[in-house]
């Protein structure tokens, strides 16, 4: 696509026109300041509320919910605020629900080689 644009510019004799003027776009005019301003250059019309803590209903969270289909085990639900886990590694893992399930997994050579319908896993 860029080659086609370059060819068009060369055919029409538009080399002296800046690419931004030809294709559209805006330039950011840099400002060189000696120091950062203490406030924004806007007039504050109304202050509804000041707080140093974000209310829980406005915070983003992630919910890990794992259901089960075998008796005796409750569903697992874990909710955490994104700010608490940002940049951290998260691992969800399961283990065989019984020693029989573990034997079946070992017989097939690992969980990824075992047919899913043969074993039960618990988070």
d(CA 30, CA 42): 19
Given this model, what pLDDT does residue 70 score? 54
d(CA 54, CA 61): 13
- The larger pLDDT score, comparing residue 61 to residue 10, is at 61
Whether 72 shows a pLDDT value over 60: the answer reads: no
d(CA 57, CA 40): 27
Residue 17 pLDDT level (bands cut at 50, 70, 90) = low
CA-based end-to-end distance of the chain: 51
pTM score of the predicted model: 0.41
Residue 81 pLDDT level (bands cut at 50, 70, 90) = very high
In the numeric block, the tokens 């940049």 are attached to: 87
Lowest-pLDDT choice from 8-12, 76-80, 87-91, 110-114: 8-12
In this predicted model, what pLDDT tens digit does every residue of 24-59 receive, in sequence order? 667 778 888 788 778 877 888 898 888 888 888 889
Burial 47-60 (b: 16+ CB within 10 A, else e): eeeeeeeeeeeeee
Given this model, what pLDDT does residue 100 score? 95
């Amino acid at each position: 696509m860029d080659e086609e644009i370059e060819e068009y510019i060369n055919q029409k004799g538009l080399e002296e026109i800046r690419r931004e003027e030809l294709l559209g776009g805006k330039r950011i005019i840099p400002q060189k300041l000696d120091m950062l301003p203490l406030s924004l250059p806007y007039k504050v019309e109304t202050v509804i509320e000041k707080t140093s803590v974000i209310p829980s209903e406005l915070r983003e969270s992630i919910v890990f919910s794992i259901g089960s289909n075998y008796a005796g085990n409750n569903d697992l639900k874990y909710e955490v605020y994104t700010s608490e886990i940002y940049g951290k590694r998260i691992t969800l893992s399961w283990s065989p629900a019984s020693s029989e399930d573990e034997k079946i997994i070992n017989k097939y050579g690992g969980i990824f080689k075992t047919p899913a319908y043969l074993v039960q896993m618990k988070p």
